[in-house]
Amino acid sequence: MDFSLLKSYIAVAEERSFSSAAKNLFTSQQTLSKQIAKLEEELGTSLLIRSRPLGLTPDGAQFLQTAKQILQLKQQYEENSSRSFTGAQYVHLGIEHTIARAILPHVLPEFLQAHPDVFLKLNEESPEVMQKSIAYDGVDLAIGSLGSIPDRFEAVPLCRKEQLLVVPKPIFDTLAGDRRDELLARFAGGVDLPFFAEAPFIRIPRQSSGGRALRSYLKYYDMNPRFVCELTNIENAFQLANSGIGVFIYARIFWDTMPPEIREDYLKNIYVFPLPYLPDIDDVCAYYNRDNGLHGMTLELFKVIRDFFAAYDPGPEKG
């Protein structure tokens, strides 16, 4: 059995749309249609009523439940297999890659030391991919930004994703001129983003949480800055800002969880100013499939992560 065919069928059956399912699975409608046709041929029956919206035949409705059960048994086998080889309890965590950089060095040592029999599998993905991983790839718990909450998900807010403006010192000094010291003192309590309307900016694609944050600020202040480059990785964008390329919006939790000596080294080249909080920016959440819930070591890891965020207090801007 090709298990990818089962995942494809579940996606189509739940979305009742080839186009929506193809988008969720990051494939083309043509490929997805061929996969479903192949599955129907193997089973010797029709599964879908190809109308708008798509419907399920009686066999299709029955097979939807069967497909879910098969994938669940497959996951249980893989987890038990992992235990047999490693002697470990299995935890499958999905986490936004930039959130992972911020929190995992602070969370995992404590958790793994307290639970040496745990085998932890990590999916480091974008927020969009993580939602699909919970639905189709066996991820038990995801940590990251969540723009909208699907009906089947339970979401637990962990912290507001406040943002900072990272400004290369030469760019700031050129814009500020003789007002440098005055503006540094004023912006320490909250930066005036339109002041940088003529500065070069670094862009992150809008589908990422960093890109959505940037878009929210530019829309709020009705700005259309000149972009000098675009990167898909927020950490690389920060490094380019640090090298003087352009201005960049950066989530505060990433900055706050850096070791103090690293922040001090960065501050040789950049200024870091707090931005006003905008409520439409995605918060950091923990989320999971409500039907499956959280249990065992996954629940224990969730508690450790939740305690980390409960103790995290941005306070006045650091550095």
Helix (H) or strand (E) holding 242: helix 234-242
| Model pLDDT, residue 80 | 59
Residue 217 sits in a domain whose CATH number is 3.40.190.10
Burial of 247 (0-12, 13-18, 19+ CB in 10 A): buried
| Model pLDDT, residue 313 | 62
Is position 176 within any domain? yes
The overall average pLDDT reported for the chain is: 85
- Give every CB contact of residue 110 below 8 A, 6+ residues apart in sequence: 304
The model's pLDDT over 51-78, given as tens digits with 9 standing for 90+, comes to 888 899 999 999 988 888 887 777 666 6
Of 27 and 194, the one with more pLDDT: 194
Same domain? 98 vs 236: no
35 touches 7 (CB < 8 A): no
Domain range holding 46?
A: 3-70
Nearest to 63 by CA among 78, 83, 42: 42
91 touches 298 (CB < 8 A): yes
| Model pLDDT, residue 195 | 97
Same domain? 14 vs 37: yes
Same domain? 153 vs 184: no
Same domain? 231 vs 299: no
Percent above pLDDT 90 for the chain: 38
Same domain? 156 vs 167: no
Tally of domains within the chain: 3
Same domain? 8 vs 141: no
* pLDDT at residue 125 is higher than 80: no
Is position 229 within any domain? yes
Same domain? 167 vs 270: yes
